[in-house]
Chains A and B, each alone.
Chain A
Amino acid sequence: MLSSLTRLQRYYLYYTGIFLLFVVLLAALERAGMPARWVGYAFLVFTVSMYATIGVFSRTTDVSEYYVAGRRVPAFFNGMATGADWMSAASFMGLAGTLYLQGFQGLAYVIGWTGGFVLVALLLAPYLRRFGQYTIPDFLSARYGGNTIRLIAVFAAILASFVYVVAQIYGVGVITSRFVSLQFEVGVFVGLAGILVCSFLGGMRAVTWTQVAQYLILIVAYITPVAILSYNVTGVPVPQMVYGQVLSEVSKLEEKLFDSPTELEVRDRYRERADQYAQKIMQLPHSLTQERERLSIQINELKSSDVQMREIVLLERQRRELPQDPAQARERWEKEMYEALARSKPPLRHAEPFPGDSEAERNAQRINFLALIFCLTIGTAALPHVLMRYYTTPTVAQARQSVFWSLLFIIILYVTAPAYAVFAKFEVLSNLAGIPIAKLPGWVAAWAKVGLVSIEDINGDGIMQFAELSLNPDVIVLATPEIAGMPYVVSGLVAAGALAAALSTADGLLLTITSALSHDVYYRVFRPQSSTQFRLVIAKSLLLVVAVLAATVAAQKPGTILSMVAWAFSIAGSAFFPALVLGIFWARATRAGAIAGMLVGLSLTVYYILRLEFGGYSWLGFSDGPLNPWFHLQSTSAGVFGILAGFVTNIAVSLMTRPSPQAAEFLERIRRPGGREESP
């Protein structure tokens, strides 16, 4: 059987075998008494040195190898590499948690992120491959002519990719600091080294082959814990098949639990707290001084009595941590108020689509759900680092097949994520809710210490009600090994998988940014006569600069980093999708139309995000506070307006201007049958 495989397939089979052996060996060592911290180190060192080995062996000084892996990547492996390229730390850690918190509503991410690949397959991949250059700006510039559109495309590609790459490096910092207990900033730069060993010497060629290796690790790491959990709960180790039954159990438990008297009481308490905060905010600045005085009086009273010092210190700290001025108080109390308000609402039923109290509310939910799907699909089909991968297959037919493999490998993870969420919810509802707080299992306390789980006994009955527990979305995947009582080696495996997901995506993004700068800006616009060697020197040095820059930004821990990932989709979608699709399918689209469409789409999206998220900041020039959302759409769906405006502007301006002369020849070339042609 082994001989029927290609050489590459055999290599990766050996590689997977070695990795599994390594995991088994570590499990044995752990049983023999190796400390957990060493298990973490072993995973980190072993996987990163595997990637480094592949990276060093794939080093290259050939331009075509550096940008498009010599167009020799078979469809199957390109699919795997695209899978790893595509699935970031957000997919790996965040998706299951989002599904846990939002139930059916979270499925918008699953549908959107996979549906986009249908658009890639039908509308983009075969044409990009037939065109056969190096970057997305290359394609737009050849179709519409001129360097203006190239530079706009470069700008949009860098804008979308840079926020995304910062988020990945940030993710690496979080993983290394939590599992190997490195300092966060050190973790970020360890991650940087991990990214550079893959991409610096070998460009796309090295990135492709390490991404295949990373996909294998991440998928094993994702499925193992939930399969074991599924076996423990249902006796069948295929969670994707059996979680339907668990889901109906969950629904029954929800029915029983959510309206029980104690849950209602807890939610009432939260409502009261929200009201208190609302009152305090209304009475600013008076309420702040009052608060400070109240604490001072209490402290003085305690000091004169003979209570323990500990309680006084506690109160003094409370007084110290009071907001400094009314503006800060408003900001902090509003946050507390919204949090309490959210927890006072009846929890979502996991399987219920578009929940709401009235028909209008349900419709708003439905529209937000579909709008989010729309943005995510179009964004998926427009992210340059994914599209670039379809330049690397040997033929057009292989490019089409390779989309199939990409989607298949991605779906393996995406059908597992909802199962994670349901199993976790089952565990929480059946084993945690209603348990005395003193008797909660150990993993709850362990994650509470890191601040990802918090429990607050608001009604003071010593028992944890469902509404009293709050989980950070990232915790679901990371804590599942402990929930199911597995040894630490499984946790180490999950950390290695999350690391692989973050590193592979960061590599692809970094390569997109550097090829946009070195190929599109430096070579195509400034120095068309530069030698190929020199172009590679430029590309490699830029890679280094951009990587260090991204790591420096990530080390600052920018707070809103995860929502920035969602914005990257809207930005990429509104800038690229209309220009690419109209460019291929509508001969009449002109240069002026495309430029206008890209600018309008991009500006509208960026404007909507800025107004909605940063409306209150006067230094950005907005003095009248945050914008009211249009049609109740959140900023993560900002792309809806940008994409539609991009299409409308492109079509309108194109009809007003004269068609570009080179378009006909270009379209003739990419619309030709291309069955067996070899790489140019």
Chain B
Amino acid sequence: MSAPSSYWRKTSRLTAWLLLIWVVLTFGVTWFARELNEYSFFGFPFGFYFAAQGILLCYLGIIVHYSRRMRDLDAEHASEIDPE
């Protein structure tokens, strides 16, 4: 098997980072929901707010970032695209 292309290396590194952030948000922050509820945020207990709205916005952010970075990466490597 040939060495992985730099495009694929960059793609997998980006994917791994975003996935790590996703895991920390989903399973890490949520774990401490009881403690976070001590803080108040726009009238919400913060733990509740984060699980009901905050985390969803973070998910959107992750997808937007991925989509942008991949678009740029595709443009950088445009010469490697062979016509289908």
Residues of chain A whose beta carbon lies under 8 Å from any beta carbon of chain B = 104, 107, 110-111, 114-115, 117-119, 121-123, 126, 240-242, 244-245, 247-248, 351-354, 362, 366, 369-370, 373-374, 377, 396-397, 400-401, 403-404, 407-408, 411, 414-415, 418, 585, 587, 664, 668, 671-678, 680
Contacts and interface: CB of A to CB of B under 8 A. Distances in A.
A408 B78 contact: no
Nearest to B32: A353
Interface of A is mostly: helix
A678 to B, nearest CB: 8
Contact of A352 (B1, B18, B19, B37): B37
B25 to A, nearest CB: 8
B18 A122 contact: yes
Nearest to B49: A244
Contacts, number: 148
B43 A664 contact: no
Nearest to B12: A585
Nearest to A665: B1
B26 A677 contact: no
A118 B63 contact: yes
B37 A244 contact: no
A666 to B, nearest CB: 12
A400 B22 contact: no
Nearest to B26: A115
Interface in B56-79: 56, 59-60, 62-64, 66-67, 70-71, 73-75, 77-78
Contact of A672 (B2, B7, B56, B67): B7
B60 A407 contact: yes
Contact of A353 (B1, B34, B41, B59): B34
28 contacts: A104-B48, A107-B48, A117-B59, A118-B59, A119-B22, A122-B18, A122-B19, A122-B66, A242-B43, A244-B41, A244-B42, A244-B49, A247-B48, A352-B37, A353-B33, A354-B34, A370-B27, A370-B31, A373-B27, A404-B63, A411-B59, A671-B7, A672-B80, A672-B81, A673-B78, A675-B78, A676-B74, A678-B84
A248 B42 CA distance: 11
A366 B35 CA distance: 13
B51 interface: yes
- Taking residues whose C-beta sits less than 8 angstroms from the other chain, chain B's interface range is 35 or more
A675 B56 contact: no
Interface of B is mostly: helix
Contacts of B42: 241, 244
Given A353-B37, A675-B81, A404 B1 contact: no
List the 3 closest pairs (A to B, CB-CB), nearest first: A675-B74, A244-B43, A244-B44
A585 B71 CA distance: 20
Contacts of A241: 42
Contacts of B19: 122-123
A371 B11 CA distance: 29
A117 B58 CA distance: 12
Contacts of B71: 397, 400, 675
Given A397-B71, A414-B56, A107 B78 contact: no
Of A119, A674, A678, chain B has the most CB atoms within 10 Å of the CB of A674
B84 to A, nearest CB: 5
B22 A118 contact: yes
